Every structure is written in C-alpha cells, then in structure tokens.
Amino acid sequence: MSSPRLRRLLAAAPVVMALALSPFAMAAGPSTAPKADISKGQAIAGAACAACHAVDGNSVIPSNPILAAQHAAYIAKQLNNYQVKPGATKAERENAIMTGLASTLSEEDIRNVSAFYAAQAIKPSYAQDKELVALGQSIYRGGVPQKNIAACVGCHAPNGSGIPAAYPRLSGQHAEYTKAQLVAFRSGQRANSAQMMSISALLSDREIEAVSVYVAGLR
C-alpha cells in the first residue's frame, strides 16, 4: 500500500501539469517576436546615425548619447517616441533632428538598428570630479531621504546596467548628456517618463550634476 505522502503527490500531479501548460508558464517559452537582423541594423546606423553617435554607437560628442551596449528595447522605445504618431500633433519625445530621422524608419528598421547598437561593446566615458562623484554616489546608492527621492540603484542597478526593456543602462554614459536629460525631465521639455519627471523635479542643479558625473564612471 502506498504511503499517505505518495498518495498526496499523485493526487497533486494533474494540478502541477495544468500549471505547467498554463498561458503563464507558456509565456516563459521561446519568443515569437520577429528576429532582428543586425547586419541590416549596421547599414542603417552607418547611413543615418553615425554622424552623431558613431558607427559603433560610441559617440565622442558629449552632448550625444553613447548607444553601444544600450538595451535594444530601450533604444526602440526612444525611436518610437521620437515619431509623430497618426492623429498626434507632436512626438512623445520632442527633438527636431531625431524626429526627422526616426520618421524615416519602419518598425523593422527600428528593431534592426536597436539590436545592432545593443550588440556593440561600449567605450565608456569617465568621471572627472572627485567631489561630485562622492555626492553622486550617495544619491545613486541611497537617494535623498529628506526629499523622498529613492536611490537610483532600484531601477538602474548598482553598476548602472539597468533592466532590459524597462530601465536604460547608465554606466559609462557621457555626464553632459545625462545631465541634459535630467534637466529636460525636470523642466518638462522631455516628457516620455512620468517617473523620471517626478524624480528630477526634486533634484537641485548640483545633485543632477553629481549623479551625472557619477554614472559616467560606473562600470
């Protein structure tokens, strides 16, 4: 005769199988999303993006972001945000140059060029001000409790690697570019992230500069 424990396991088997075959479990299986063509993405980068971001995404212009090793899903989201969608009077993220370029790209183009840049090795920027690095580290790791500002690590990870499809990689990004984006979020000039707008609204100029310098040196 089987033991009570064995009988319980046998009784539970159908439930376990049902869960394993449920839509939630199946969602973790192979993706059916179209596969990106990195070679086509490289061609687009060379033709449309290289002047500002370099062919491999390692921009040498501090005001233009380094795209190398950035999450493909994040790049794709930004390119979509730059496009003026049917029925809209302006893009969700406004930039005359980027809107002009993004408007020429199809969804397939965006998928391909995003995958290309994500696959490139980053040549990171670096921190240049030790005093600001100390303040930036404090904010990045611990937030600003007296202002109810949460630590940046919660979304962007301790090493600045971010979370694919959710939060961008910040490590090694040009401090000048990061600073400009935080200021744009604070003023409302950049409005495609309510979360970053609310956080930036609480940061002083010095705090913004400090965080920007700190993430440039993250590895």
Give pLDDT tens digits for 69-84: 999 999 999 999 999 9
Lowest mean pLDDT among 27-31, 40-44, 115-119, 156-160: 27-31
Other beta carbons within 10 angstroms of residue 1's beta carbon come to 5
Considering the four listed CATH numbers 2.60.120.10, 1.10.760.10, 3.40.630.30, 3.10.20.340, the one that applies to the domain covering 38-118 is 1.10.760.10
Q: How far, in Å, are 20, 22, 26, 54 from residue 10 at the CA level? A: 16, 19, 23, 61
Start-end of CATH 1.10.760.10 domains in the chain: 38-118, 130-216
Question: What pTM does this model have?
Answer: 0.84
Q: How far, in Å, are 24, 83, 180 from residue 97 at the CA level? A: 41, 11, 16
Give pLDDT tens digits for 23-69: 333 344 455 779 999 999 999 999 999 999 999 999 999 999 999 99
Please state, in angstroms and rounded to a whole number, the distance separating the CA atoms of residues 7 and 12: 9
What CATH architecture does domain 130-216 belong to?
A: Orthogonal Bundle (1.10)
